[in-house]
Structure 1
């Protein structure tokens, strides 16, 4: 999952996307102070096993 967070003087908006491609396409069109984040759930052990991060038990 990919999230774009947009900050303005009075508000914070978050937009959720399923793919990196659609998130990047929207990121280019969105105006303002923004950042793109990939969300990884480490309770999905198939993803966690392929990660470079250590698994804490």
Structure 2
């Protein structure tokens, strides 16, 4: 899961995405202070 956290005009908004591509596309379009995070759970298949 990918999350964009956006700080704009004194408020905080968070957006969730399933793929990195869609998150990066949205990240480019958003205005304000923002950061992109990948959320990894301990039971994700990549740790099997």
User: What is the TM-score when the length of structure 1 is the normalising length?
Assistant: 0.75
User: What SS is found at the alignment partner of 1:23?
Assistant: helix
**Gaps in structure 2 of 5+ consecutive residues:** none
**Within 5 Å, which residues of 2 pair with 1:31-50?**
31-42=31-42, 44=43, 46-49=45-48
**Gaps in structure 1 of 5+ consecutive residues:** 50-57
Which is strand-richer, 1 or 2? 2
Q: Which residue of 2 aligns with 1:23?
A: 23
Q: Give the Cα separation in 2 of the matches to 1:29 and 1:45.
A: 29
Moved over 6 A (4+): none
- Max radius of gyration: which structure? 1
